[in-house]
Amino acid sequence: MSRVLILGGGIGGLAVARALRFAPVDVTLVDREPRHLTARDLYAAALGRKAGARREVLLGGQKNVQFVTGQAVYVDSARNRLLLEDRALPYDSLVVATGAQAHYGRPGWARSAPALRSPADARQIAETLKGSDGTVVVVGGGPAGVELAAHVARKWPARRVVLVDEGTMLLAHFPEGLQREAERRLKKLGVEVRYQLHVIAVTASGVRVSGPNGRETVVGSAVLWAGGVEGSAFGQALVQETRAETDEIGRIRVRPDLTVSGHPEIYVIGDLAHVEISGIPLPQLATIASQQGRYVASAIRDRLAGYEPAPFSHVDQGQFALIGRGGVGFLGDTQMTGASAYLAAKFALGWPRLRAYASVTGSST
């Protein structure tokens, strides 16, 4: 029976496994963590609340899936083996869904400014916030930074929360009216938003920034990073092995069927994949990762049946930033705020039917 190996148990990886439920394949899902946390779960975990569920529960006891907890270090593409720290796993099809990692201006900043990209990051942030009762500085005004600042402000309304961004408005790819609405909602929660500040150093006392008025220190006892992402560490190992082409932030440029050039047995999905439709790169969204996961499962079934799959295509399910029990979002030309944005984000991946295994924020995984 064909062996499908999925590396990464986030939204994309789980979508692949679930869509292969009735396929004549043996599926192995590998992840560093035994529990799956959606983007909303990560926020809860970062604030010290228990969150997430075991993946075997999320997949409803699916018979053709086994789970392996481990750290992948390399792929031997010539022998079709994924190398973990303590073993090697064979595959006929490999799906890499490891996501992205935080991109910092300097290597040492990660120690002082944790990002929220994984359960391990959530635990580090929880410890950082627990050990501090002063100002919290959030770096980055994209959806992740906006949502993180809102969560912290709602959890600790007495704390000062400062959101620092390089741009002139939050949520750079959102319509202007939604950008202003997001700022209004954050300020209502007590978040101080500061623009046009480029971080040049992260220190124990906050962040050193350069802006229109020169250099200054934004004082804070805790710094949280949401200032951009780059390809994962395993993605770099995959590039070294396959000589795959990458974009400017380290995402792997995949073929229209989401495979690595020259390796039709290796698929890359989610935040690690650079996918273009009509020459336009797709954004890093949970909704797209989920669609890619279902597509890859279909492509694997097609190839087992002797057919070549059609190129990947996607359905626009909108982009959202949730702020408390409201938020902002847009789908095509339709703009939403408040409860309508919140509900639209929840239903973007079929919530509540799929909420057990899908992120509902519209953010990346």
Who has greater pLDDT, 29 or 122? 29
The tally of domains found in the chain comes to 2
pLDDT tens sequence across 234-270: 999 999 999 999 999 999 999 999 999 999 999 999 9
For 212-224, what is each residue's pLDDT tens digit?
999 999 999 999 9
Residues 114, 212 within the same domain: yes
What residues contact 352, with CB distance under 8 A and at least 6 apart?
A: 346
Is position 129 within any domain?
Answer: yes
Judged against a pLDDT cut of 80, whether residue 131 lies above it is answered with: no
Where in the sequence is the domain holding 160, given as residue range(s)? 108-225
Average pLDDT, the chain: 90
Dump pLDDT digits (tens) for 176-190.
Answer: 999 999 999 999 999
Q: Looking at 288, 304, 320, which one is the last position of a domain?
A: 304
Same domain membership, residue 89 and residue 42: yes
Q: Of 225, 248, 273, at which residue does a domain stop?
A: 225
- Tens digits of residue pLDDT in 324-344: 889 999 999 999 999 999 999
Question: Is residue 26 domain-resident?
Answer: yes
pLDDT at 207: 96
Cis peptide preceding 352, ω within 30 of 0 = yes
Strand partners, 323: 326
Q: Do residues 132 and 205 both lie within one domain? A: yes
Question: 8 in a domain, yes or no?
Answer: yes
Q: Is residue 349 part of a domain?
A: no
> What percent of the chain clears pLDDT 70, i.e. is strictly above it?
94
Give the list of residues 6+ apart from residue 214 with CB closer than 8 angstroms, or none.
none
Residues 8, 67 share a domain:
yes
pLDDT tens digits for range 37-77 = 777 778 878 887 776 667 777 787 899 999 999 999 999 99
Q: Are strands 222-225 and 136-139 parallel, antiparallel or unpaired?
A: parallel
Of 172, 196, 225, the domain-final residue: 225
Same-domain pairing of 173 and 123: yes
Backbone angles phi, psi at 334, to 5 degrees: -90, 120
pLDDT at 142 over 50: yes
The tens digit of pLDDT for each residue in 90-121 reads 999 999 999 999 999 888 898 889 998 888 88
> How many CB atoms neighbour CB 227 within 10 A?
23
List Cα–Cα distances, 254 to 108, 173, 239, 329, in angstroms.
31, 24, 11, 28
Q: What is the CA radius of gyration of the chain?
A: 20
pLDDT tens figures, 263-304 = 999 999 999 999 999 899 999 998 999 999 999 999 999 999
Query: Is residue 97 a part of any domain in this protein?
Result: yes
Q: Which helix or strand (DSSP H or E) is residue 219 part of?
A: strand 214-219
Phi-psi map region of 352: left, alpha, beta (phi>0 left; psi -120 to 50 alpha): alpha
Q: What is the CATH number of the domain that holds 284?
A: 3.50.50.60
| Strand segments (E) across 32-128 | 35-36, 53-54, 65-69, 72-76, 81-84, 88-90, 93-96, 100-102
pLDDT of res. 172: 93
Task: Examine the domain organization and report whether 131 and 203 are in the same domain.
Answer: yes
State pLDDT tens for residues 345-360: 888 865 433 443 333 3
* Same domain assignment for residues 91 and 72: yes
Asked if the structure places residue 161 within a domain, the reply is yes
At residue 364, does pLDDT exceed 70?
no
Residues 136, 195: one domain?
yes
Whether residue 95 sits in one domain with residue 50: yes
